[in-house]
């Protein structure tokens, strides 16, 4: 136990004195998206059913994930049709519905349509209990013909103000790019 505490302290010291890393672009050409990671954040590709990438802040307290799924119900729609549905608020309950489906206790949840990267999207915020910890989540849902993307970022509710600017910048930087198939 003492050895793990010393190792944890050493890692914290190394992280505290490490120089800030310049903002880093993260691109996934297969799934067709890119984000710019804030200073000190790291990212890695994920290989799950839906999650395509994970990003973590310098002390791993804040995390973001990007999911991308092929969405047959959007395949026949034009971007203009999708934008009209997004702007109408048709997806306003997406945040709360997703939490209920996943069995997560949502203490509060709201969503609203926004303009993002030349198209309509849904932004959402919620406070949830995740693995026994009260966390604040910010998300962005973007739909394009045939595909849906979800950028979901979380941090402990008590420390959220520390990460809010980084999370907002990461979400704002999300772009859909032409996928390489």
Task: Encode pLDDT of 1-37 as tens digits.
Answer: 322 322 232 233 233 333 334 478 999 998 999 999 9
B/e letters for 59-94, b = 16+ CB within 10 Å, e = fewer, are: eeebbbbbbbeebeebeebeeeebbeebbeeebbeb
What is the structure's pLDDT at 7?
27
What is the structure's pLDDT at 1?
31
Examine the pLDDT at 178 and tell me if it is beyond 60. yes
Q: Pick 112 or 127 by higher pLDDT.
A: 127
Alpha helices in the chain, H assignment, sequence order:
2-17, 79-87, 94-102, 160-173
In the chain the domains, ranked by start, together with CATH numbers, are 20-176 (3.40.1000.10)
What is the structure's pLDDT at 4?
30
What is the structure's pLDDT at 101?
58
Examine the pLDDT at 123 and tell me if it is beyond 70. yes
What is the structure's pLDDT at 14?
30
Task: Encode pLDDT of 43-101 as tens digits.
Answer: 999 877 789 999 999 988 999 999 999 988 888 899 999 898 888 765 555 545 555 55
Q: What is the mean pLDDT of residues 94-123?
A: 72
Confidence (pTM):
0.78
Rg, Å, the chain Cα set: 17
What is the structure's pLDDT at 91?
53
Examine the pLDDT at 39 and tell me if it is beyond 70. yes
């Amino acid at each position: 136990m003492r050895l793990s505490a010393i190792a944890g302290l050493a890692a914290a010291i190394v992280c505290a004195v490490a120089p800030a890393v310049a903002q880093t672009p993260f691109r996934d050409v297969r799934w067709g998206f890119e984000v710019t990671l804030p200073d000190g954040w790291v990212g890695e590709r994920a290989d799950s059913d839906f999650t395509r990438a994970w990003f973590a802040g310098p002390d791993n307290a804040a995390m973001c994930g990007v999911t991308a799924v092929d969405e047959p119900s959007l395949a026949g729609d034009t971007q203009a049709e999708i934008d009209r549905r997004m702007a109408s608020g048709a997806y306003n309950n997406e945040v709360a519905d997703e939490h209920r489906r996943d069995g997560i206790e949502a203490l509060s949840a709201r969503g609203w349509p926004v303009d993002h990267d030349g198209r309509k999207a849904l932004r959402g915020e919620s406070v949830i209990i995740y693995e026994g910890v009260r966390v604040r989540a910010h998300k962005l849902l973007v739909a394009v013909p045939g595909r849906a993307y979800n950028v979901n970022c979380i941090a402990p509710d008590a420390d959220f103000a520390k990460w809010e600017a980084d999370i907002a910048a990461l979400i704002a930087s999300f772009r859909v790019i032409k996928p390489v198939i």
